[in-house]
């Protein structure tokens, strides 16, 4: 299990977190499945760490940070075994982008998910918009990303953004148990 462990910052992705994710993905090669979740129950991932984003002074540095996280999300999407996002808390902005990089999204019934980057006057930069369109269709993806609409778990499941919704305490545990249900060896993607 890969846990984003920054509950004090709602599991926001910082530069150090990116380095840890890269190492964790390297170490997970050969696994028959991978579960990604967030520490605590407030957030799966809340997106990029805004304190670090505010410290960026050049467009090149901002683009480099976005490219790095895009590469990490691409690695999740291309991981040679099933990737399960156990949404134990809200998945907003970049958190939604990480979630849609997974093959399966198991959500607690009390979470919210949304591509709300537009509130910061930015657009999804980690590959989430394309992955969102593949899941829910182009028109709905434009609506969600363009307006920043945030969905309850049940609505996200209804439109195909989330695959399974479970009562809150069970969602992360269920996501963690699923890899044991996969046969050993690599799964076709």
Render pLDDT for 70-110 as a digit per residue (tens, 0 to 9). 999 999 999 999 999 999 999 999 999 999 999 999 999 99
Residue 69 pLDDT more than 50? Answer: yes
pLDDT band at 50 (very low <50, low <70, confident <90, very high): confident
152: enclosing H helix or E strand: strand 150-152
Q: What's the DSSP call for residue 159?
A: T
What distance separates the 2 farthest-apart alpha carbons in the chain?
48
pLDDT band at 52 (very low <50, low <70, confident <90, very high): confident
pLDDT digits (tens, 9 = 90+) for 155-184: 999 999 999 999 987 655 566 665 556 555
What domains are defined for the chain?
2-172 (3.90.226.10)
Q: What is the pLDDT of residue 62?
A: 87
Distance CA 126, CA 134 (A): 15
Sign for the CA dihedral angle at 76, 81, 86, 87 comes to positive
């Amino acid at each position: 299990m890969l846990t984003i462990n920054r509950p004090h910052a709602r599991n926001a992705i910082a530069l150090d977190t990116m380095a840890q994710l890269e190492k964790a993905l390297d170490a997970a090669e050969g696994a028959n499945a991978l579960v990604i979740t967030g520490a605590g129950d407030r957030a799966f991932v809340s997106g990029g760490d805004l304190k670090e984003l505010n410290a960026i002074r050049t467009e090149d540095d901002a683009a480099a940070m976005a490219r790095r996280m895009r590469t990490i999300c691409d690695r999740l999407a291309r991981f040679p075994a099933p990737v399960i996002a156990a949404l134990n808390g809200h998945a907003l902005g970049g958190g939604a982008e990480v979630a849609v990089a997974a093959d399966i999204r198991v959500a607690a019934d009390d979470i919210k998910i949304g591509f709300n980057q537009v509130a910061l006057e930015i657009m999804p930069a980690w590959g989430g918009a394309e992955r969102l369109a593949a899941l829910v269709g182009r028109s709905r993806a434009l609506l969600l990303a363009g307006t920043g609409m945030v969905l309850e778990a049940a609505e996200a499941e209804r439109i195909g953004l989330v695959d399974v919704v479970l009562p809150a305490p069970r969602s992360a545990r269920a996501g963690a148990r699923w890899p044991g249900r996969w046969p050993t060896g690599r799964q076709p993607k």
